[in-house]
Amino acid sequence: MKLTHLLAALTVATTTLTTLAAPPARAAAADLAAGKPIEASSTVFSFVAPNANDGNIGTYWESNGFPATLTVRLGADADVTSVVVKLNPDPIWAARTQSLQVLGRAAGAAGFTSLKARADYRFDPGSNQNTVTIPVTGRVADLQLQFAANTGAPGGQVGELQVIGEWTPPPTGPDLHVTGITPSPANPSAGTAVSFTATVANRGNAAAGASTTRITVGGTTLTGATPALAAGATATVPIGGTWTATTGGATVTATADATGAVAETDETNNALSRPIGVGRGAALPYAEYEAEAARYSGALVEADPLRTFGHTNFGSESSGRRSVRLTSTGQFVEFTSTVPSNSIVVRNSVPDAPNGGGQDHTISLYVNDQFSRKLTLSSRNSWLYGTTDETESLSNTPSADARRLFDESHALLGTSYPAGTRFKLQRDAGDSAAFYIIDLIDLEQVAPAASQPAGCTSITTYGAVPNDGQDDTAAIQRAVTDDENGVISCVWIPAGRWRQEQKILSPDPNRGQYNQRGLRNVVIRGAGMWHSQLYSDTQPHQVVGGINHPHEGNVGFDIDDNTQISDLAIFGNTQNRANRGHGLNGRFGRNTRISNVWIEHVNVGAWVGRDYSDTPAYWNPANTVEFSGMRIRNTFADGINFSNGTKNSRVFNSSFRTTGDDSLAVWANPYVRDQAVDIASNNRFVNNTVQLPWRANGIAIYGGIDNAVENNLVSDTATYPGIMLATDHSPLPFGGTTLVANNGLHRTGGAFWNEDQEFGAITLYPQTRDITGVVIRDTEILDSTYDGIQFKNGGGNMPNVQITNVRIDRSNNGAGILAMGGARGNAVLSNVTITNSADGDVVIEPGSQFTITGR
């Protein structure tokens, strides 16, 4: 055998490389699998599935044990005549026998059928050049090898997989798809009448007659007339009638040719679904399931009454302050899905390496009691040690007191499972971690990888190669620079994993390594956040030769103006806040739009703003910037921070989990060109879901004018408030109205700074300046660790705080509303309900100059 594996580190292959257009007309038999999307049930080390059809016999895929599957997706039906399985013919590879079965699945078919029964095949460099040809007959769009044994290795092995055959000629006719759904208003409140338009495209090769497009939402059915569409044409269809928005949102499904008036080449692909947010929190595309609410055989982990943090407190860092520990073979957590799903995310904690730095562990995934695959759970980006609350001073060297105990793993499952499917995470005999703590899972129906849009130029044109582990930065940078200079109009990042080891920015020869100039007038699009992934396995401070952006790290983009980035992921490898590494950063300027971007394992998800002193000639503070559909998780500092004079900008319908500082913040910092003009103002955080920040706040406003926090859901802050208004960090003054409206706060607040300072679920902290113009209304504050609403001591005043239609229940270790002894100002209550508070409903400490009237 070429390699002897002393350690088996499993990674789940989830890569999809391309989405094919219609196949060519029938041609001579050829290899149909080259470069096609390929995935495996498991892999070992870097021997991933795409190695098996990359055209390089020197690379190979290897599974982590048996049974194992390797599946290539041809993208369309083909009539196949044989399957060729190759290993490296180098004599260093000893002869071996592999037991495997060949299966296939036609386009639209539900399951695989056998093309060749399981048999033993001998691979021998000396007799058959390590190549086996298996005759088969069938029409398939997906071909799968199922391995049962290998005499030469502990897993199945494939150097190159070839599928020999001919494309099935595409059918002639129209093919209608819904490509977009637009609600109006886009962000309705409960009770609002919402209208819709749908975008319908004919992707077939013949014209389609007039038809009906139907929208269903929350029990309401609406229709619109779709005109006749030529092949390749698109129409925007107004939908008649309205839907009355209901709290919690709904799923909107649009179906083209709903009455079957058009005979299409494919009648199964007419529908598109998307969530619409109403009320609190984001309209998430996934369903979340708590381990403690599932069926399990491990031990329940719970937080102590004070939800103590920083001393290896698994319960305090768990969602809902509960999770499940698995320590023995056979222990499991089983979740029953309520939605169709083809992907999984697992929030978990597994042990650190003995000397720190993390390690990988496997856990077994069963679907309806059938083994599916091994999932890799890693501690590489978790586990910080020490008792200091200055995050940059925490260590990666193990000691008694640890924090940031959890991380997440994700995988595409290759198959869509219906609602009611049982997903079980089980510690099997080969799963060797000392413990597994399972907090929650997300199940999501991920759409296929998008096709390259017209007018966009792929980074592969510039030499980028997916899934090869080589640095693609130079190719991506050349593409982006051409877009910036008008050579191309859009940068396309196809499906695949693309390694990035330098920040993408605007090269400035006058500044060299200390480049502080961001992108302008650039459009960057990906095939979907699950499909197009920029990643680094290198910590920012360890990049060979140093990084081109000393403060912000080695992944993502530096943005200065009018830039659109969508439908991709940025996965860094920051392991300590001291080592930096942001996902997105820069001045951002005007009209920048960031949508459907997944950012993980960085310092800050997106830092919006630069100090004026940092190249004054480039001063261009953010204005009309929007983030939507963001998924920011497992950071070492903020999620998104609006800084340095950001105005008229918003974060909408996004999710944040396990951030290492404020998940969302407006910081009206003074490091601007004109402090009388460049004040953060009219920014909004609307319909976002914030979970489990392990340091600082869920949402914070530090100074500024007319900023708003509306319709958000914040839960399980470890140390700080769910929402805080404050004048620490030396902000410019508050002005106008700061609105906190229709938010839900669950299990928020905590203790920090040597555990001496207790924070309420909503806290006002006038450390240096007054906090004026505050309106808090239509909000629920439930199960707070300390106070529901807290007015803190400080050097400033908090006059005329208006609190209306607020319900506070279960302030477990504090008051419903507390004014501290050094607080100054007043609050006026109207229709405020307070129940089950440990220290009383409304408490004003002795010596306080704060008054509270009304109720």
**418-443, pLDDT tens digit by residue?**
999 999 999 999 999 999 999 999 99
Give 735-772 pLDDT, tens digit per residue. Answer: 999 999 999 999 999 999 999 999 999 999 999 999 99
User: Is the model's pLDDT at 23 over the cut of 60?
Assistant: no
> Can you give the residue ranges of every domain in the chain?
10-167, 176-276, 286-444
Give the architecture-level CATH label for domain 176-276. Sandwich (2.60)
Q: Are strands 774-784 and 798-811 parallel, antiparallel or unpaired?
A: parallel
Distance (Å, rounded) from C-alpha 149 to C-alpha 333?
Answer: 29
User: Is the model's pLDDT at 249 over the cut of 80?
Assistant: no
Give 117-133 pLDDT, tens digit per residue. Answer: 999 999 999 998 899 99
pLDDT (mean) for 681-702: 97
Contact 464, 472 (CB under 8 A): yes
Widest distance between CA atoms in the chain:
93
Distance (Å, rounded) from C-alpha 701 to C-alpha 826?
Answer: 19
Residue 689, CB half-sphere, CA atoms under 13 Å: how many?
Answer: 20
Report the topology of domain 10-167.
Jelly Rolls (2.60.120)
Length of the chain equals: 855
- Judge if 10-167 and 176-276 fold alike in CATH terms: no
Give 573-622 pLDDT, tens digit per residue. Answer: 999 998 888 999 999 999 999 999 999 999 999 999 999 998 898 999 99
Contact 548, 513 (CB under 8 A): yes
Which of 8-17, 384-393, 561-570 is the most confident on average?
Answer: 561-570
User: Is the model's pLDDT at 198 over the cut of 70?
Assistant: yes
How does residue 278 score in pLDDT terms, banded at 50, 70 and 90? confident
What is the CA 393 to chain-centroid distance, rounded?
28
Q: In this structure, which amino acid lies at residue 69?
A: T
Contact 312, 303 (CB under 8 A): no
Q: Which helix (H) or strand (E) holds 478?
A: helix 473-484
- Of 161-175, 321-335, 720-734, the one with minimum mean pLDDT is 161-175
Q: Which helix (H) or strand (E) holds 154?
A: none
pLDDT of residue 5: 33
User: Is the model's pLDDT at 462 over the cut of 90?
Assistant: yes
pLDDT (mean) for 725-737: 97
Q: Which helix (H) or strand (E) holds 482?
A: helix 473-484
pLDDT of residue 27: 45
Which token pair is 834?
């307070």
How does residue 248 score in pLDDT terms, banded at 50, 70 and 90? low
How does residue 544 score in pLDDT terms, banded at 50, 70 and 90? confident
pLDDT of residue 276: 79
Q: Give the SS3 label for residue 416.
A: strand
Which token pair is 445?
């129906």
pLDDT of residue 403: 97
Distance (Å, rounded) from C-alpha 282 to C-alpha 376?
Answer: 28
Distance (Å, rounded) from C-alpha 722 to C-alpha 699?
Answer: 6
3-state secondary structure 165-182: EEECCCCCCCCEEEEEEE
Report the topology of domain 286-444.
Jelly Rolls (2.60.120)
Which token pair is 754?
């040597």
Give 488-514 pLDDT, tens digit per residue. Answer: 999 999 999 999 999 999 987 777 666
First to last CA, the chain: 77
Q: Give the SS3 label for residue 404.
A: coil
pLDDT of residue 7: 26
Give 50-105 pLDDT, tens digit per residue. Answer: 999 999 999 999 999 999 999 999 988 999 999 999 999 999 899 999 999 999 99
Contact 366, 426 (CB under 8 A): yes
What residue has token string 């529908």? 271
